[in-house]
Amino acid sequence: MPSVDAKLRVLFLCTGNSCRSQMAEGWARSLKLGTIEAHSAGVEPHGMNPRAVRVMAEAGVDISGQRSKHVDELRGIPFDYVVTVCGHASEACPAFPGPARRVHVGFDDPPRLAKEAVTEEEALGHYRRVRDEIRVFIESLPGAFAELPQGTAR
């Protein structure tokens, strides 16, 4: 782990790196700038989800400048933690050399939930709920890392 003065390097990993992992990176950059160096990536990047960008902007966090990346683009970064935020990414998570500790903290998939929505506002409600759940998790960092067994869900 890094020295007391160093930031934790954290990768938030999801399948598409379009929604949940992007929101987690945005929250970490906004709320934990002094303690966490946040990154996000996917095992099958899909591009940025416009609804995720929208609901994060509503909460005062601009993620429009972030981009969807494949996990291989970040191979040279020595992460302290790799946090998988969806089940598929947890199962498909590649091995990372060095001290990276892998933990799984799953969140519902807003795009999947929004498929059943009748209105745009109903669809955005799913995104907002997950956004807020991710914020609560990010607010608990880095302390929550000590409570999460490696590879285990919350």
Active site residues: 14, 86, 93
CA geometry: angle at 78 spanning 76 and 134, to 5°?
110
SS3 13: strand
Chain position carrying tokens 């590649």: 94
Cβ atoms 28, 10 nearer than 8 A: yes
Residues 6+ apart with CB under 8 A from 77: 9, 11, 39
- One-letter amino acid at 78 equals P
